[in-house]
Amino acid sequence: MSLVLGCLLFCVQIAQAQAPFHTAITVNDGIITNYEISQRTAMITAFGGRGDTRDTAVNQLIDERLYQHAANLINITVGEDEIAEGMEEFANRGNLSTEQIIQYLAARGIEEQSFRDFVTNGLLWRQVVRARFSRQATVTDNEIDSALGGANQGALSVLISEIVIPHLERGPDGAKQLAEQLSGSINSQGAFASAARRYSRSPTARNGGRLDWVPAANLPTSIITQLLALENNEVTGPIELNNATAIFQLRGTRRDATAPKETTVSYAQVALPVGGELKQQIAAARVLINKSDRCLDLRANSEKYGANAYQESAALQSELSQTIAMELAKLDRNEAGYYPNSAGGLSVIMLCSRTTELQEGEREALRGNIFNRKISGLGNGYLQELKGAAYIEYK
């Protein structure tokens, strides 16, 4: 009897050892194994992902099987050099080399092949989308001129205060819970300023979260629409930014004499190395800001963080992400601040210029931004078509 039980136990152990490589999901002619799901889940967590990381991993892997399917339909492949460059490019976003990011992942039980597959599938999809939609996404001079002359939210300006609570300290749920508590209890400017000094990690915290007059056109639509529904001294509900939750208090509104055309902004960012306590990262950001009087200084002073740490961008105000728009709205030319980035660290951001006239080279940068927006939308639509036509079975 003991021999039989021992054999049964051995067989169960073998089955458990093999289970990770069993098929978990079938997508058309492709499969996703339990092992791939566990590897991707661990990778998402390693890169700072929160929430239901397994569900995110499953959705990513399904999308990537569809990327592969779409690439096979038009005979698109990526070469070894392209994959190596893609892995390096991804690593550089976190100021790491390819070897360093592989070591970082290996220490968390994630194989190099899992990272390689992730990058390869992203490259495949990029080429698929460009091959199918580049012509449709072409940006004409008329489109750029039209965008530059487009309507905006007029000459309204708002006087606001902010409290920014990073997810790094409390997690997304904890940050949102605190934001909801503060939003529901604050009923005066003094109370808001006191809470900002205690809880906010924005550079404005020292000043009680107070900002100077900000043109409404410089703020994200999701924020200005909430603010315009408030009376003076009232507070918005929690607003999700990039790796942070924020609330804003309206202190006043005014109308200027003229309504300017939509502006183009040029700005620079430096992603600081991830790691260490938030206080240490804030201190490093302040040192970099204090040493940099203009964007050229910021570039020179950030060289110690790696060649890819510094990035310059130019875009129409309306094309900015909510987080970037909110940060730039606080700044005048050559002023800088910092904010929690998607890598789980801090980025320093400086406003290089804000103008209704494009500077040299910015017109082409704007063309690139519009092209990327158009082709991204076309690609997302195509992915939904692929999903609708796909055979997807969960085992």
DSSP-assigned letter for residue 277: -
User: Do residues 192 and 228 both lie within one domain?
Assistant: yes
Whole-angstrom distance, CA of residue 66 vs CA of residue 122: 11
Residue 263 is predicted with a pLDDT of 75
Whole-angstrom distance, CA of residue 379 vs CA of residue 383: 6
Quote the percentage of the chain above a pLDDT of 90: 47
The pair of structure tokens assigned to 240 is 């999700």
Any idea of the CA torsion for 276, 278, 279, 284, to the nearest 10 degrees?
70
In a domain, 22, yes or no: yes
- Categorize the per-residue pLDDT at 358 as very low, low, confident or very high, splitting at 50, 70 and 90: low
User: Do residues 251 and 280 both lie within one domain?
Assistant: no
Any idea of the CA torsion for 307, 308, 314, 317, to the nearest 10 degrees?
-140
pLDDT tens-digit map of 294-332: 999 999 998 888 878 899 988 888 788 888 988 998 888
β-strands 392-394, 23-27: how paired? antiparallel
Query: Mean pLDDT across the stretch 255-265?
Result: 66
Q: Can you tell me which residue has the tokens 């998607």?
A: 342
Whole-angstrom distance, CA of residue 306 vs CA of residue 300: 11
CATH of the domain at 80: 1.10.4030.10
In a domain, 144, yes or no: no
The pair of structure tokens assigned to 295 is 């964007």
Whole-angstrom distance, CA of residue 217 vs CA of residue 252: 16
**Domain containing residue 191:** 156-255
User: Do residues 105 and 184 both lie within one domain?
Assistant: no
Which has more confidence, 259 or 123?
123
In a domain, 174, yes or no: yes
**Torsion sign, CA atoms 369, 373, 378, 383:** positive
Give which of 181, 78, 191 is closest to 124, Cα–Cα.
Answer: 78
pLDDT tens-digit map of 181-204: 999 889 899 999 999 999 999 999
Residue 8 is predicted with a pLDDT of 41
In a domain, 149, yes or no: no
User: Do residues 32 and 132 both lie within one domain?
Assistant: yes
User: Do residues 286 and 194 both lie within one domain?
Assistant: no
DSSP-assigned letter for residue 102: H
User: Do residues 15 and 128 both lie within one domain?
Assistant: yes
- Neighbour count for residue 107 (Cβ, 10 Å): 9
pLDDT of 151 higher than 70: no
User: Do residues 251 and 267 both lie within one domain?
Assistant: no
User: Do residues 35 and 104 both lie within one domain?
Assistant: yes
User: Do residues 226 and 317 both lie within one domain?
Assistant: no
Which pTM does this prediction carry?
A: 0.52
Give which of 132, 129, 133 is closest to 121, Cα–Cα.
Answer: 129
What is the number of domains present in the chain?
3
In a domain, 392, yes or no: no
Whole-angstrom distance, CA of residue 389 vs CA of residue 391: 7
In a domain, 394, yes or no: no
In a domain, 246, yes or no: yes
- Name the helix (H) or strand (E) containing 74: none
User: Do residues 228 and 303 both lie within one domain?
Assistant: no
Query: Mean pLDDT across the stretch 138-162?
Result: 71
DSSP-assigned letter for residue 317: G
pLDDT tens-digit map of 198-256: 999 999 999 999 998 888 878 887 788 788 778 889 999 899 887 889 999 999 988 76
User: Do residues 129 and 199 both lie within one domain?
Assistant: no
pLDDT of 145 higher than 70: no
| CB neighbour list of residue 11: distance below 8 Å, 6 or more residues apart | none
Which one of 117-131, 274-288, 289-303 scores highest in mean pLDDT?
117-131
CATH of the domain at 277: 3.10.50.40
Q: Amino acid identity, residue 95?
A: N
User: Do residues 9 and 115 both lie within one domain?
Assistant: yes
Residue 256 is predicted with a pLDDT of 67
Structural contact between residues 264 and 148, judged by C-beta atoms closer than 8 angstroms: yes
In a domain, 233, yes or no: yes
